[in-house]
Chains A and B, each alone.
Chain A
Amino acid sequence: MSLRLLSVDPSDRGSQRCRLGPRLMSALGLSLGSPLLVSVPGGSCLCTAWPRPDLAEGFVQLDLKCSSPGLISHPPTHLTLDPTQLTPVPCPKLKSVKVAVVVQSVEFKKHTAARQVHELVKDMLKGVYLHEKHVIDLENFDTEIRYIVVESISADAGSSGIITSKTGVEISGIQTVRHYRSQLQDQDSVPLGGLEGVSASLREMLQLPLLYPDTLSSLGVSCPRGVLLVGPPGVGKTQLVRRVVGEVGASLVVVRGPEVVGSRPGESEEKLRAVFERARSAAEEGPCVLFLDELDSLCPRRTGSSAPEDRLVAQLLTLMDGISQSDRFLIVGATNRPDSLDPALRRPGRFDREVIIGAPTLQQRKAILSVLLARMPVCQSVDIAELAQRTTGYVGADLSALCREAAMHAIREKSKGSGEQLVGVKHFQEALKSVRPSCLRSSLGRTELSLVTWEQIGGLDDVKLKLRQSIEWPMRYPEAFVRLGLSRPRGVLLYGPPGCAKTTLVKAAANSSHCAFLSVSGADLYSPFVGDSEKALAQLFSQARACAPCLLFLDEIDSLIGARSNSHGTNSVQTRLLSVLLNEMDGVGLKTLERRGTERILQAEGVEEAHTQEQVDFQEVCNNDVMVVAATNRPDCLDSALLRPGRLDHIIYVPPPDQQARLCILKACTESMPLGADVCLEELAEKTKLYSGADLENLCKEAALLALQEENMEASSIKHTYFLRSLGKMSPSLTAQQIHTYQTSPR
């Protein structure tokens, strides 16, 4: 027999009754008003048993006067209970009880004498059945006292009992409802992955002044009061603050920029002052954090002309200066555009510390994923480390979207009736297609790649090998690279005659290494405004660094950049772009804002860890940079500074295909074509000297078209004659002289 949980009758509210059917009552051995502990998901509740007025069986109604704290915020609804969840408990008369009182307002707490509170509490608690660690809800008394939290009861009574007029009541503390609620809420927050370092420093700032106030004052140090969190959107700044606040048990006052701004002059400032006042009063009860989310909208850079925002900025500055040492609250600001903040904010005394949270590194992504996947039924075959590798450039929000999407795929599949409950690798692969990294959103060179594998490119085996060495190997065998002290090359230049598969090679490389891939052309970069192109290029690099490891492909680099030496004049756009590129590839250092994760240095002697873990570490050290891949067919036009080792250090000549390679190309091109039995690709390969890969592809196309033309759309195979005829019409695009110049031209 199961019991349906109905909501409580209005007349029973505050009576601590649990309405049951009389038959169930006698089965449980209960008489009228006997105490009874009901366990429901999320907690339990102590009630007295009463028969329902209509004596019906199969229903249960609970008055939650005395229940676990969790049930206050989330009262149980729509449940079906089992009779085993109801247990009669003995409730002896209590000798003493220790409680904490939760009151409505701060004023009551301040102005009411302890004795008076004591008397009220005792009066209200008389005749109530208590359970240890439960909360008594006194809403229906409608006084200032809202809840009474039972901390402990006299030891001889077990865990529950009844309060009589002789019970001694001890009040351990008084707090306000808001504080109590915020404490309750924080108990069920989600853990965060990969932000341990930052959260530890935040926690320290919150806890130090509370735990060791004397030490700090004896040192004559004022503890820091402001932290600015900087990072791209979605890395978890807001989450982090909520999490830390929850862990420390502090109360949180949130200010969202637009909420504060009012229409009338002076209104915004007034609201801001009210917020600080609220934080101050909350700080009197315990640690408190004032969180200014989206600080850039609240506090933009002040300009020369007096805008209304300037007054708001000034008010914020004065309020932050006006915090006295006795106000124990911490101000945390979060922004993703620190450069648009007013510089006056970013000095010690206001925001003492700036914490930069970058896009998560491989390690951090792994941590985030393991937190996210811990709550999902995931197939054994899903490898978190590999998933973390595949998700370069994903921030925390992207990763959680990814997991959600994968789960949705699993659900959709399940609804089709396959009965599979687990989220498997294929779901994640589907999700990876639809969820793209937000770091790269609105980026210039974001490109969707068609799938090209190395096998689809005929010939060019040494070129492929070299490309693999420089792109794939550092990803695959990081430990070997570290062992030999090798570092990943900064850049690769592919040069060779046109139509020899340079671009296709890069595509294949990008596909085989699961890096982020950005590709730019002149159209993306050039702009009619002076300085705009350079800025775009610099921004491209910073975005690429944010999602490193990343491949940045500059096609036709000769037209894009050019050289300084030629006759264009010293100050053309090309030269300026070149200088930007040189700087970005091998500059002095990174901007502080682009810092990601903690500096990680591999130590030779360390604790023996699992092999995969080590590999991930190696990965991280090895692949933390952007790799530039450039392609040109005019290497002589490039600036020599660009070609020195350290910038484009691998210079690879992509030769026109030799006979063997041509055969491979022809095979690859005709793979999907129905060839006639007489077709001899070897012969074709022999006859097509000086033909480039593109020419050969064209040849195959022409032959197929010719077949259609001759045989009136009913052609089922392409005969050898068509190949020969189309070959007769074409001429090779390369010349022997051209190839000679490539082969002799050094850098």
Chain B
Amino acid sequence: MSKPALLSLHQALRKSFQGLESNQKVWSDVLAECSPLMVSLGNLAEQWRALSNVQLSNTPLRDFPDLEERLRFKLVQATDTVLCKLNGKMSSLQSVRDSISNQVSAVFQLYEENTDSLDLLTVTERSVTAPSLSDMLEWLQDAERHYREQYPFCSCSHWVGFSFYSGSVFPQVMFRFLRRKTLLQTLRADDLSLLESAPKRWKSFESPSAEDRITDTLCKVSFFIKS
């Protein structure tokens, strides 16, 4: 049994669990900031729907020139702003994910370097204060997988749901797709419903149980971190 390898690995694990703890906080804060934005996005979608349902020429408002176009422009602008903010949140989520991934892979690399000196008995040995190495590595991997599974959801909904406004705000990926939509100037009903359902879907991505598991893990290793 080689002490130094074990010690250095413990050190790295300690560091990455601390990192995980702080990142988890950042992640949940960002998500909390996102939810009002999603609600306002839903509101905007409702306004879009209302605007497309109403025939302005049949109302007293017909005297205002270009009212429909103006309203539409305002809505586009508002949606753009919300989406822009969401996009910013997205990139901070991504940076959280990436930093977790990097920490975890660094720990694994360290383990792989020392595989020869650590036999399975050492790796699976547990004590009162510290869980075994294999358990901790497993938890770290689970956490990383959780964040990786969460992220594509967001990005996916982000692409499919909000893809039809002016291209300037959005990542170049969607560019061609958007252009056509802006040219059409009308929204397809199913797209609108996608936009309307966006907040709901956003909610459904949150999985409290998985989030709890990470909290559990952090509790399990709390003694180990402090020792």
Give complex CA distance A670, B124 in Å.
92
Q: Which B residues are CB-close (under 8 A) to A115?
A: 173
A141 contacts the other chain (CB 8 A): yes
Smallest CB gap from B159: residue in A: A116
Asked if A32 and B137 sit within 8 Å, CB to CB, the answer is: yes
Closest to B123 in A: A32
Q: With an 8 A cutoff between CB atoms, is A53 at the interface?
A: yes
In the complex, the answer to whether A51 meets B134 with C-beta atoms within 8 Å is yes
**CA A126 – CA B135 in complex, angstroms?**
22
Interface residues on B, range: 20 to 34
Q: Please tell me if A442 contacts chain B, counting CB pairs below 8 Å.
A: no
Given known A32-B137, A53-B135, A144-B156, contact A22–B120 (CB-CB < 8 A): yes
- Is residue A119 contacting chain B, with contact meaning CB distance below 8 A? yes
Find out whether the CB atom of B115 lies under 8 angstroms from the CB atom of A31.
yes
Q: Contacts A26-B119, A33-B108 known; A15 to B176 CB distance under 8 Å? A: no
Asked if A141 and B173 make an inter-chain contact with CB atoms under 8 angstroms apart, the answer reads no
Do A32 and B111 touch across chains, with their CB atoms under 8 A apart? yes
Are B152 and A141 touching (Cβ within 8 A)?
yes
Query: How many residues does chain A have at the interface if contact means C-beta atoms less than 8 Å apart?
Result: 28
Contact A119 B111 (CB under 8 A): no
Is B213 on the interface with A (CB-CB < 8 A)? yes
Produce 1/0 per residue, B66-94, CB < 8 A to A: 00000000000000000000000000000
- B120 in contact with A26 (CB, 8 Å): yes
Bound-state Cα–Cα, A140 to B173, Å:
25
Q: Indicate if the CB atoms of B137 and A123 lie closer than 8 Å.
A: no
CA distance A231 to B135 in the complex (A): 65
Interface string of A104-120 (1 = CB under 8 A from B): 00000001010110011
| Chain A residues with CB below 8 A from B142, complex form | 11, 15
* Contact of A119 with B119 at beta-carbon distance under 8 Å, contacts A14-B145, A14-B149, A32-B137 already known: no
CB distance from A23 to the nearest CB of B (A): 8
Assess the A25–B120 pair: CB atoms within 8 A.
yes
Interface string of A17-53 (1 = CB under 8 A from B): 0000011011000011100000000000000001101
| Contact (Cβ within 8 A) A55 B124 | yes
With a cutoff of 8 Å between Cβ atoms, the chain B residues found around residue A120 in the complex are 152, 155-156
Give the chain A neighbours of B138 by CB distance below 8 A: 50
User: Which of B108, B118, B121, B149 lies at the interface centre, i.e. has the most chain A CB atoms within 10 A of its CB?
Assistant: B149
Q: Is the CB of B173 within 8 A of A113?
A: yes
Residue among B121, B134, B149, B173 making CB contact with A32, cutoff 8 Å: B134
Q: How far is the CA of A348 from the CA of B175 in the complex (A)?
A: 49
Per-position binary interface string of chain A over residues 658-682, scored 1 when its CB falls under 8 Å from any chain B CB and 0 otherwise? 0000000000000000000000000
Are the CB atoms of A142 and B153 closer together than 8 Å? yes
Q: Considering residues A11, A14, A15, A31, which has the most beta carbons from chain B within 10 angstroms of its beta carbon?
A: A31
Closest-by-CB residue of A relative to B141 is A15
Residue in contact with A141 in the complex, picked from B133, B141, B149, B159, CB distance below 8 Å: B149
The answer, yes or no, to whether B177 is at the interface (CB within 8 Å) is yes
A23 vs B138: C-alpha distance in the bound complex, in angstroms?
Answer: 18
Q: Which residue of B lies closest to A107 (CB)?
A: B190
Instruction: Return the CB mask of B163-180 against A: 1 if under 8 Å, else 0.
Output: 000000000011011000
Output the least CB separation between A404 and chain B (Å).
48
- Contact indicator B213/A11 (Cβ below 8 Å): yes
User: Would B176 and A31 count as touching, CB distance under 8 A?
Assistant: no
Chain A residues contacting B176 (CB-CB under 8 Å) are 113
Distance in angstroms from A685 CB to nearest chain B CB is 99
Of residues 137 to 154 in A, which have CB atoms within 8 Å of B's CB atoms?
140-144
Instruction: Tell me the smallest distance from the CB of A260 to a CB of chain B, in Å.
Output: 27
CB distance from A119 to the nearest CB of B (A): 7
Known A-B contacts A22-B120, A50-B138; A143 and B156 likewise in contact (beta carbons under 8 Å)? yes
Residues 86-125 of chain A, each 1 if its beta carbon lies under 8 Å from chain B, else 0: 0000000000000000000000000101011001100110
A-B contact pairs, 10 of them (CB 8 A): A15-B145, A26-B121, A31-B118, A32-B137, A51-B124, A111-B177, A116-B173, A120-B156, A123-B151, A142-B149
Instruction: List 9 additional A-B contacts (Cβ < 8 Å) besides A50-B134, A120-B152.
Output: A22-B120, A22-B123, A26-B121, A32-B134, A32-B137, A33-B137, A51-B124, A120-B155, A123-B152
Q: Which 10 pairs of residues, A with B, have the shortest CB-CB distance?
A: A26-B120, A31-B115, A22-B120, A22-B124, A51-B124, A51-B134, A32-B134, A143-B156, A141-B149, A116-B173
